[in-house]
Homo-oligomer: A and B are copies of this chain.
Amino acid sequence: MSQNTREDTVLSAIEDRRELVNDAIDEELPMDEPERLYEASRYLLEAGGKRLRPTVSLLVAEALADVEPRSEDYQAFPALDHGVVDVMAAAVSIEVIQSFTLIHDDIMDDDDLRRGVPAVHREYDTETAILAGDTLYSKAFEIMLRTDAAPESSLDAIELLAQTCTRICEGQALDVDFETRADVDVDAYLDMVERKTAVLYGAAASVPAIVMGADDDVVDALYQYGVNVGRAFQIQDDVLDLTVPSEQLGKQRGSDLVEGKQTVITVHARDNGVDVDSLVDATDPENVTDDEIDAAVATLEEAGSIDYARDLAEELVAEGKAELEVLPDNEARYLLEEIAHYLIERGY
């Protein structure tokens, strides 16, 4: 399938669900007192975002139940054993966790912008941003308790959520640590990416199966699907940062190099004898020229590091897709396969 058709397919699958997801976020996380705290907590969620993780959750539910996409009420969705569950609550809970981690990450990285608007600690202040993240954290658990799943399944969903949050914190700590280390190998880097980014995709893909009462092997396979596409997604981000023109990227091409950030590409290059720290002058980020970036990219290409990253992302997507064989062969599963491809084929 051509990239454009694939992108259209995926974007319209997301588009078809976004308004419902946004309505559910409003419902599950209403304004409350103190007003400023709840405004700050909702600020980033209201600023937009693709809702990719909730879309994955909702598609998994539809694939598992083997129903026509968008034919069932997500908030009273047919479970596998009996009765109905609120798979939308599970999807929203994951998105709320995502929002909490972004708010706290932006404080830690002192980033000014997120989704085209000021980061929460810039729009409000650091104290409020810490508290807004902390509020979303507990709210995500409150929301995950509202799926109406069987008690044992609810507990499994809560456990997955808690373990996922722990892994994300570990991943962020490793990421911060790696910035000052030159001895990070590819395995260590990929382990960091798995914790920081991929496990939340794993949770998004498996939690609807848990609340619907699916067997453990189905839950595990869906988790692996999510983790693999999540890792591929991050690796592709590293590739795009070097290969997409600044105008299209919405930020400076090569910003990871300029900021001295490790990526799977620089880690691979260093493993293969490239003096990564001399590629661009990261001590003078303002004056790095496009020519320097071009030369750096050429060096990384020569070392095979960009191809390595591309191949790795493709491999992970293939592995992720293979996990979907636990699902019935239907339209929703097809869309989950397309999403996996889209994550590494998207232009930016």
Which of A167-175, A233-241, A266-274 lines the interface with chain B? Answer: A167-175
CB contact under 8 A between A34 and B158, given known A108-B131, A134-B169, A166-B138: no
CB proximity of A162 to chain B, nearest CB, Å: 4
Asked if A139 CB lies within 8 Å of chain B CBs, one says: yes
- Say whether A135 contacts B36, CB under 8 Å: no
Q: How far apart sit A165 and B169, CA to CA, in the bound complex (Å)?
A: 18
Asked if A84 CB lies within 8 Å of chain B CBs, one says: no
User: How would you classify the secondary structure of chain A's contact residues: helix, strand, loop or mixed?
Assistant: helix
- Say whether A104 contacts B128, CB under 8 Å: no
Asked if A176 CB lies within 8 Å of chain B CBs, one says: yes
Q: Give the chain B neighbours of A318 by CB distance below 8 A.
A: none
> Which listed residue (B138, B154, B159) contacts A163, Cβ 8 A?
B138
CB contact under 8 A between A166 and B130, given known A145-B155, A152-B151: no
> Which listed residue (B37, B108, B145, B173) contacts A169, Cβ 8 A?
B37
Q: How many residues of A contact B (CB 8 A)?
A: 40
Asked if A137 CB lies within 8 Å of chain B CBs, one says: yes
In the complex, chain A residues 166-199 whose Cβ is within 8 Å of any chain B Cβ = 166, 169-170, 172-174, 176-177
Asked if A338 CB lies within 8 Å of chain B CBs, one says: no
CB contact under 8 A between A135 and B169, given known A145-B158, A158-B141, A159-B145: yes
In the complex, chain A residues 256-296 whose Cβ is within 8 Å of any chain B Cβ = none
Q: Which chain B residue shows the least CB distance to A153?
A: B151
Q: How far apart sit A166 and B134, CA to CA, in the bound complex (Å)?
A: 8
Q: How far apart sit A153 and B238, CA to CA, in the bound complex (Å)?
A: 45
> Which listed residue (B130, B151, B173) contacts A104, Cβ 8 A?
B130
CB proximity of A111 to chain B, nearest CB, Å: 12
Asked if A66 CB lies within 8 Å of chain B CBs, one says: no
Encoded as 1 (CB less than 8 Å from any B CB) or 0, chain A from 1 to 42 comes to 000000000000000000000000000000011101100000
Copies of this chain, how many? Answer: 2
- Say whether B34 contacts A170, CB under 8 Å: yes
Q: Give the chain B neighbours of A177 by CB distance below 8 A.
A: 34, 36
Q: How far apart sit A108 and B56, CA to CA, in the bound complex (Å)?
A: 36
Q: Which chain B residue shows the least CB distance to A146?
A: B159
Q: Give the chain B neighbours of A173 by CB distance below 8 A.
A: 34, 36-37, 128, 131
Q: Which chain B residue shows the least CB distance to A128?
A: B173
Asked if A220 CB lies within 8 Å of chain B CBs, one says: no
In the complex, chain A residues 115-165 whose Cβ is within 8 Å of any chain B Cβ = 126-128, 130-131, 133-135, 137-139, 141-142, 145, 151-152, 154-155, 158-159, 161-163, 165
Q: How far apart sit A126 and B110, CA to CA, in the bound complex (Å)?
A: 11
- Say whether B165 contacts A134, CB under 8 Å: yes
CB proximity of A179 to chain B, nearest CB, Å: 11
- List 7 interface pairs A-B (beta carbons < 8 Å), by A numbering: A33-B170, A37-B169, A107-B126, A128-B176, A134-B137, A141-B165, A142-B162
Q: Which 5 A-B pairs have the closest CB atoms?
A: A138-B165, A151-B151, A141-B162, A37-B173, A108-B127
Given contacts A135-B170, A138-B166, 11 further A-B contacts (CB under 8 A): A33-B170, A34-B170, A36-B177, A104-B134, A108-B131, A127-B176, A131-B173, A137-B137, A137-B165, A138-B162, A142-B163
